[in-house]
Every structure is written in structure tokens, then in C-alpha cells.
Amino acid sequence: MEKADKNLADVDKQLKNSQEEVARLAAVQYKGTGLDPAMEVVMSSSPEDMLDDAAVAGHVSRTNGERLLSLTELKKEREEASEKADAKLVEAKELVDDIEEQREEVLEKIERYEAEQIPETPGDGTVPASAKGGGFDGATPRMAAIRDEIIQEFGAPFPVGCVRPSADDHGTGQACDFMMSNDGGHPTSENQQLGQQIAEYAQANADRLGVKYVIWEQRIWDVRNPGAGWKQMEDRGSITQNHFDHVHVSSF
């Protein structure tokens, strides 16, 4: 592509020079007596310089026709170079589109692979029946391991919900809600502290467990933006929607 652009630039430069030379000769013809520019040079010379000037004028007269022919050829060459450059540009755009499509496919495969990996956990995978909320068994292997480790580490004052019909990570089994109160009410002081501990634990062990992000008390922490810290979220209108009654943990 760079070579085609350079060839086109070289041809354009030659074309411009030839156009300027022909234009100069045409201007001489127009502004003069109507004679051929070469004859004008000879007729305007002094007697002692006439022979030398005649030789120069003869050369100009011959090259005049050559330049016109060269100009025509350069125009054709310019068109061909432009067509080649355009073809290379189309080819380059198609290559970029193909690479971008492959990139998206690779990222999808990586995400699926990461979701299937199970982190090492200190627990044995068993949790009390009281901790099992809606969609508990539908979590991905990775999210299930994260869920079980948190439950075994901190307990579960209320059932933990995971899969439900939605367009977010709950819909794919990559998220669970660790409830700190019941029926959409504010947690007790003790459970609020427990929720804070769970949120901080998920954050501190994100790399090992494969945690993607955590939401708690209208704030979000996302491992994909490590320097951002906890960010305030918009008010969604209720205790549950603002995540004051549960810790949301999403996994890769």
C-alpha cells in the first residue's frame, strides 16, 4: 500500500511539472505575436546572437511536442497508479475487517474458556441448604466455586440467588447475589458489616477466583478498570436495585 502511494505521488509530481512547462509555452504563444515561440526567440534576437538563439529555439520547438506527448502519457500513468492505489486500499480495508472479526471470535473463545475454569478453593463444595436460593445450581463452574468459597468463609444469613432470566451475568450463570436482608429491607448493622467483608474479599481475591466485578451499596468495583477503585453508581430507585441489601459478584 505504501509503495502504491509513493508511485502515485511520483507520477503526480512529474505530471505537475509537465503541465507547468506546457502552460508556460502556451502563455508565450498567447502573449506574443502569434508566431511559434521558437520563431519569436529567433526574430527577437540581435544579429550576432541569432544563430545561437536559433539553436536554442529549435530545441524548444522539438521538446514542445515531446512535452505534450509526455503529458498525455503521464496522465494515463497517473490514472493507472491511482487505480492500483485504490485497489490496495480496498484490499487493506478488507484485511482490517477480517482481522477485527477474528479478534472478536478469539475474545469470545477466551471468555468462554475463562468461564469454564474452576479456581482452587479451600472448601469442599458443600453448602447448607438454607444458603441455596433461586437459580443456585445454574451457576457456571467458576461462579459456583466463587459462591461456595464465600459461603464457607462468611456463611449466608439469607439464600444466595444466582441464575435468573435477564440480559446481564445472571442470565448466563456468571453472577450470584449474596443477600444481606430479606424482602428488600435495609440490612442490620451486623449484616451490613458482613456484606462489606464479602465485597472486600471478592475484590482482594479477584485474580485468583476470576471475579469480574462486584457491586455493593450503589458502588461498583471492576477488575477491568483496576485504577478506578470503587465507583459510585446512579440511583436506580430502590434498596435492592441500588444493591444495599445484597452483594452482587460477577465472574468471567
| Per-residue pLDDT band at 12 (split at 50, 70, 90) | confident
pLDDT in tens, 105-161: 766 656 665 555 666 655 556 789 999 999 999 999 999 999 999 999 999 999 999
| Percentage above 90 pLDDT, the chain | 48
Task: Provide the pLDDT for residue 85.
Answer: 75
DSSP state, residue 250? E
33 versus 62: which is more confidently predicted? 62
Longest Cα–Cα distance in the chain: 121
Cell reading at 46: 540581435
Cell reading at 8: 502515485
Mean pLDDT over residues 9-27, rounded? Answer: 67
Query: At a CB cut-off of 8 Å and minimum separation 6, what does 86 contact?
Result: none
DSSP state, residue 163? -
Contact of 119 with 209, CB cutoff 8 Å: yes
218 versus 78: which is more confidently predicted? 218
Distance (Å, whole) CA 73 – CA 79:
10
Q: Amino acid identity, residue 185?
A: G
Contact of 179 with 191, CB cutoff 8 Å: no
Mean pLDDT over residues 158-167, rounded? Answer: 97
Entry pTM: 0.56
pLDDT in tens, 69-91: 666 776 677 777 778 778 878 87
Cell reading at 70: 509526455
